[in-house]
Amino acid sequence: MVPTHDPQLLKGVLSLLLLRLLAERESYGYEVVQRLRALGLTDISEGSVYPALARLEREGRLQGHLVASRSGPARKYYRPTTAGAQALAEGTESWLSLAAVVHPVLVRRLPDPPTATEDT
């Protein structure tokens, strides 16, 4: 079965993921989608990634530059700016801090459900 992810949760961390992936290697829009899918986010759509890239660029966190392509028009590759790298560092710290609190709670063993008792 293909795992699905809560779109709201994903939306919250998508910017962070994009900044991280592009810090590792600059990519163009569709390549970013492919990389996210390869990570396991198989249900992510281009429709959420492309506007997110546009927003990060607009906010000055990503910088786009055109690279000539053999198979068609020049492709727009993105890479983080200094502001983007700073946002990535802060976001990563914030996420890890939150995960450190949330994860142990969610993996704790639940108490056994109460057994049904007969009324006297």
Partner 1 sequence: MATSPSALDRLRIERAVWTMNARLQDLPRRSRVTRRRELRDNLHAAAADVGARQAVRQLGDLRILAAGYLAAEYGELSRRPSWAAAAVTILTVEIVMMLVDYAGRTAFDAGITATTPDATGTFRWAGVPYLTSEATFTYRNGTHTSVGGAWTPLVYVLMFAGAFVTGRMWRLIFAWQRQRHLTPLAVDEERNGGRS
Backbone torsions φ then ψ of 61, nearest 5 degrees: -95, -20
Instruction: Using CB atoms within 10 Å of the CB of residue 25, give its burial: 0 to 12 exposed, 13 to 18 middle, 19+ buried.
Output: exposed
Quick check: 80 binds partner 1 (CB under 8 A)? yes
Quick check: 83 binds partner 1 (CB under 8 A)? yes
Other beta carbons within 10 angstroms of residue 20's beta carbon come to 14
Report the nearest approach of partner 1 to the CB of residue 40 (Å): 17
Structure-block tokens of residue 58: 């607009």
Segment interacting with partner 1, rule: CB under 8 A, options 50-58, 88-96, 100-108, 110-118:
50-58
Quick check: 55 binds partner 1 (CB under 8 A)? yes
Q: Collapse the DSSP code of 52 into the 3-class scheme (helix H, G, I; strand E, B; otherwise coil) and give the result.
A: helix
Q: Using CB under 8 A, list all residues that contact partner 1.
A: 28-31, 33-34, 45-48, 50-52, 54-55, 58-60, 63, 69-76, 79-83, 85
